[in-house]
Each structure stands twice: as structure tokens, then as C-alpha cells.
């Protein structure tokens, strides 16, 4: 994984390459520090789980400026 900073918000991200829908490769930014949540089976409330070293969240879901970098978000702001 390559590490860099988001050019929009400055948060640390890791880039991975994975197969895309059309058979090509897609680069995906992963948030390096976002907490991972789990649902308990006791009362169904979300609780902060232990941070697993190999668990990452897409930076598109955690970046405060994500809507500026998506086609749908840009259309909503126009």
C-alpha cells in the first residue's frame, strides 16, 4: 500500500489497487485512522470496536470534502 495525504482535507490515506467491474484495476483510497464500528448482538447499539490493523474504511466515506470530488456531489452543489 502506498501512503499519502488527501489533497482536499490533508488526512493520511493508503492507496490499494483492486480489480474493477470491467476487469481493469481501480485505485481506492483508504482512511488510515478512521475507527471501525461493530454492532453488538446484545441491544443492537453501535459500539466502538478495537481498531484492527488490517481494517480500513474508504476515505470517500470519511473525507469532509468528498462531495467536491464525486459527480453526484458536484451536481448537488451546482
Greater model confidence, 75 or 34: 34
pTM of the model: 0.58
**pLDDT tens-digit map of 29-61:** 888 777 665 555 666 666 665 566 666 788 888
Measured distance CA(27)–CA(15) in Å, rounded? 6
> Residue ranges of the domains in the chain?
2-77
Question: Would you list the DSSP string of 5-50?
Answer: E-TTT--EEEEEEEE-TTSSEEEEEEESS---EEE-TTT--EEEPP
Amino acid at each position: 500500500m502506498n501512503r499519502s495525504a488527501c489533497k482536499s482535507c490533508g488526512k493520511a490515506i493508503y492507496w490499494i489497487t483492486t480489480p474493477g467491474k470491467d476487469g481493469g484495476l481501480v485505485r481506492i483510497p483508504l482512511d488510515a485512522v478512521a475507527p471501525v464500528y461493530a454492532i453488538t448482538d446484545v441491544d443492537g447499539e453501535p459500539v466502538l470496536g478495537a481498531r484492527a490493523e488490517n481494517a480500513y474504511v474508504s476515505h470517500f466515506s470519511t473525507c469532509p470534502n468528498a462531495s467536491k470530488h464525486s459527480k453526484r456531489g458536484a451536481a448537488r452543489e451546482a
